[in-house]
Amino acid sequence: MNTTRRMFRRILVANRGEIACRIIRTCRRLGIETVAVYSQADAAAQHARLADRALPIGGPRPQDSYLRQEAILAAAQASAAEAIHPGYGFLSENADFAEAVERAGLVFIGPRAASMRAMGSKAGAKDRMAAHGVPVVPGYTGEDQDPRHLAREAARIGFPLMIKAAHGGGGKGMRIVRDADAFAAALESCQRESKSAFGRDRVLLERYVETPRHIEFQIFGDAHGQVIHLGERECSAQRRYQKVLEETPSPFLTPELRARMGAAAVAAGHALDYVNAGTVEFIVGPQGDFHFMEINTRLQVEHPVTEMVTGLDLVEWQLRVAAGEPLPLAQEQVRSRGHAIELRLYAEDPAQGFLPGSGRLERLELPSPSPHVRIDAGVIAGDAVTIFYDPMIAKLIVHDDDRARALARMREALAACAIAGPKSNIAFLEALIRHPAVVEGRIDSSYLDRHLDEFLPADAAPDPRAHAAAALAVLLDDEARAARPAIAADPHSPWRAADAWRLDGQGERRVLLAHGGQRHLTSASGSSGRYLLRNAAGCVEVTDARLVEGWLSAALDGVMQRWRIHLHADRVEVHDGSRRHAFEHPSALATTSAATADSDRVLAPMPGRIVLVRARIGAVVAAGDELLVMEAMKMELALKAPRAGTIAAVGIDVGDFVEADAMLVRFADAS
């Protein structure tokens, strides 16, 4: 029977962020109109702007918008969409939603509801896979949940073993047990957590594989009975069961092991009569023994690495299969070239336990896309990372001829990234991509959790040359800005120079930078690329300094070096090719006074906390006398008298928190 239909004219994308944007771009290339949906928090989001049409579906919380099945179906029908693509997350693996879409006369772009339900129970999934010859981890999946029976099964399986919630996910309801004495307490704890998280306390037991690798295979099935795989992705770099780095091909697999695992993945697809995109995930032991773990019945976050090595568009395949077309290629026609790696750039603070961040992206710099570099992002500079959804900013994907070159590409891509606004995990990712366990391809799925401190950049003192580079970047940027006014149109104007020249000789400019709460003052004489820099570390002679399109090159004491520079309003980042050095450079802190010489008041230059007050009402002070000290941006800033005079009012006390421009001290009239 021929089930092929024409390609869709219009589809609704039931998702947000980078995956919604990614789906929309493929549809646009294929001439398919797209309808986006958005929550109140996403009214100005990129996916809503990119689609041909966008409809509101509710409040900012997922349960009030992106998880509201009836609202999404109503939007699809109101816009005359013919199909719904769920992306990943939200409703992508919800069998009830898939059936509701079909009942509404629309096409669900994903697997059948029956396949989702078959994978909904870990125990049932394992039994089904074992019946079709797919290797599974030795264990117990039975319905008898009596603790004494489970203890006997644990003894039969052997230790170490893992207790897992039969209906769980996301790392919840899992316990590793290393001996029989610890089994009863671990079982009780696991059941309690499973009941709380999933409403059911059934568990299964599995042999625990020490130092396992996590390797998954991308499969595709069509409505004509064909199932193939598109190669593997290794996702062993994980933190708390969350993937951090994905790559293909796996540096661990041999051609023979790859062939056996690929065949097992295809067998898993046939076991479910699988249609559309799916991912078969395996646990792989140190000796190459592999065991089925689960099937993700959707497109994966890391699908771009497969696309980079195969040259295929998996979203296009999803659309064609959903329209009833046969798979575009047979297994023997699938080709893979080179090596691809993906990292996820998040708004989070690794130093604070990877605490998710939020806020406006004041600045967002990402590498330029090229045949070697791909950016999948759902935000641009000026957008907000909200508290309601996953704080992913972008996915960085690189490709090159082999793994070593791909790693080098990723290092370059990360060096080109800079964010102002919420904190990010850029420095963590840079440490990750340079770590020997990653470079040598020997990381296992629990390595990060065991050795996390090795990946958290230490707050060490900055390299003196990096400090000099940061000061040079500020100097050159100041000179470039000074050359922009109208008077700069005359190249011979004496006012064009920004070299601190004065009548009684060459002056000095001062650059205040801070790192790790410590202030570093650099005095600079010279201009136009030639300087003498002096600070507490010594004196450096600089020649041939140039700052062009984010790259600084200069000879320091005769040695030429190159740095990537990211200049923000109050921050300078210097990348020397192996390490990122960040310096605070708030312009308000570059002066010792918060008021002009003829001002009658001292204002707070920025938000901060008052830590010392020397000013007293009625006191007579001289210009430059220290009036108070405030703490801002982890630094102490001394605010000094702008002129001589008598203090008439003091508006703060020690411990007060003040906003920018708050009046701190007022002088009596000069008269």
Lowest mean pLDDT among 260-264, 423-427, 549-553, 576-580: 576-580
Q: How confident is the model at residue 587 (pLDDT cuts 50, 70, 90)?
A: low
pLDDT one-digit tens code per residue, 599-649: 788 888 766 788 899 999 999 999 889 899 887 544 567 888 888 999 999
Residue 284's beta-bridge partner residues?
213, 290
- Span 583-607, average pLDDT: 63
- Span 434-456, average pLDDT: 94
Tell me which fold the domain 139-207 belongs to: Dna Ligase; domain 1 (3.30.1490)
- CB neighbour class for 523 (10 Å; exposed up to 12, middle 13-18, buried from 19): middle
Q: How confident is the model at residue 459 (pLDDT cuts 50, 70, 90)?
A: low
How far is it, in rounded angstroms, from Cα 407 to Cα 141? 41
pLDDT one-digit tens code per residue, 21-45: 999 999 999 999 999 999 999 999 9
Lowest mean pLDDT among 241-250, 353-362, 476-485: 476-485
- Span 473-487, average pLDDT: 78
Strands 530-535 and 518-527, sheet pairing: antiparallel
What is the per-residue pLDDT for 159? 94
pLDDT one-digit tens code per residue, 217-241: 999 999 999 999 999 999 999 998 8
298 assigned to active site = yes
Asked if residue 374 lies in contact with residue 309, where contact means CB atoms within 8 angstroms, the answer is: no
Higher-confidence residue of 483 and 30: namely 30
Of the candidate CATH numbers 3.30.70, 2.60.220, 1.10.3470, 3.30.700, the domain formed by 464-486+497-585 belongs to: 3.30.700
The encoded tokens of residue 122 equal: 């870990």
What is the per-residue pLDDT for 65? 96
Of the candidate CATH numbers 1.10.357.10, 2.40.50.100, 3.20.20.80, 2.30.30.140, the domain formed by 592-667 belongs to: 2.40.50.100
* Whether residue 160 has a cis bond before it, omega within 30° of 0: yes
What percent of the chain clears pLDDT 90, i.e. is strictly above it?
69
Q: Which of 298, 320, 465, 509 is catalytic?
A: 298
Q: How confident is the model at residue 588 (pLDDT cuts 50, 70, 90)?
A: very low
Mean per-residue pLDDT of the chain: 89
Q: How confident is the model at residue 66 (pLDDT cuts 50, 70, 90)?
A: very high
- 213-455 sits in which CATH class? alpha beta
What is the per-residue pLDDT for 83? 98
Domain ranges in the chain?
10-109, 139-207, 213-455, 464-486+497-585, 592-667
Higher-confidence residue of 153 and 125: namely 153
How far is it, in rounded angstroms, from Cα 225 to Cα 1? 12
pLDDT one-digit tens code per residue, 310-345: 999 999 999 999 999 999 999 999 999 999 999 999
Q: What are phi and psi of 197, to 5 degrees?
A: -85, -35
The yes-or-no verdict on residue 386 having pLDDT over 80 is yes
Is the pTM higher than 0.85? The answer reads no
Residue 582's beta-bridge partner residues?
573
Question: The domain 10-109: what is its CATH number?
Answer: 3.40.50.20
